[in-house]
Structure formats: C-alpha cells, structure tokens
Amino acid sequence: MSLDTELVAALKEDWRTAKLDDRDRAMLTYVEKLTKNPPSIWRDDMDALHNVGFDDTGILQITLIASFFNYINRVADALGVGRG
C-alpha cells in the first residue's frame, strides 16, 4: 500500500516503466515470470533475487504470496466471482 499516487498510477499502467528500485524491479520480474510461465523458473531467477538482497526466506515469501494470489484469482475466475 502506498500513499504515493503517482507510483500507484505508474504501477497500474505498467510496472516496467514505474520508478522502482532494483529490489522491487527484480521481485516483480520474478513474480511476473512465476505467474505467466511457472515451469521456466530456474536457479538464475533465484540468483537475480539474491543479487538484490533477498535471502531464501524472502524468496519463499514472495513465491508463496504470488502463488496464493494466482490461485485465488483462478478460483474466483472459475466461479464467476465479480461477474454479474
């Protein structure tokens, strides 16, 4: 959550062009890859996160949170949640 309305708008538009630090950019790169192509996650993806300061616990937390949101969104989509 952020009170920075410009950042929020930029993230909604396209996170790749938002003013983010290296750590946030690496995290979002990983989360996007995990969301769109999970089998493609490899050791180099973990290395990229380690290189910006995430430890194994942080990487696990990122993975679990992103995976949970992906799961729950798919369940909601399948059940028609939010559709009139």
Residue 32's CATH number? 1.20.1290.10
Give a yes or no: residue 6 inside a domain. no
User: Tens of pLDDT along 67-81?
Assistant: 999 999 999 999 999
Give a yes or no: residue 33 inside a domain. yes
In percent, the amount of the chain with pLDDT more than 90 equals: 85
The rounded distance, in Å, linking the Cα atoms of 80 and 53 is 39
Q: Say what the pTM is.
A: 0.86
Return mean pLDDT, the chain. Answer: 94
Give a yes or no: residue 4 inside a domain. no
Give a yes or no: residue 68 inside a domain. yes
Q: Is 70 exposed, middle or buried (0-12, 13-18, 19+ CB in 10 A)?
A: middle
Number of separate domains in the chain: 1
List the domain range (segments joined by +) for residue 35: 20-79
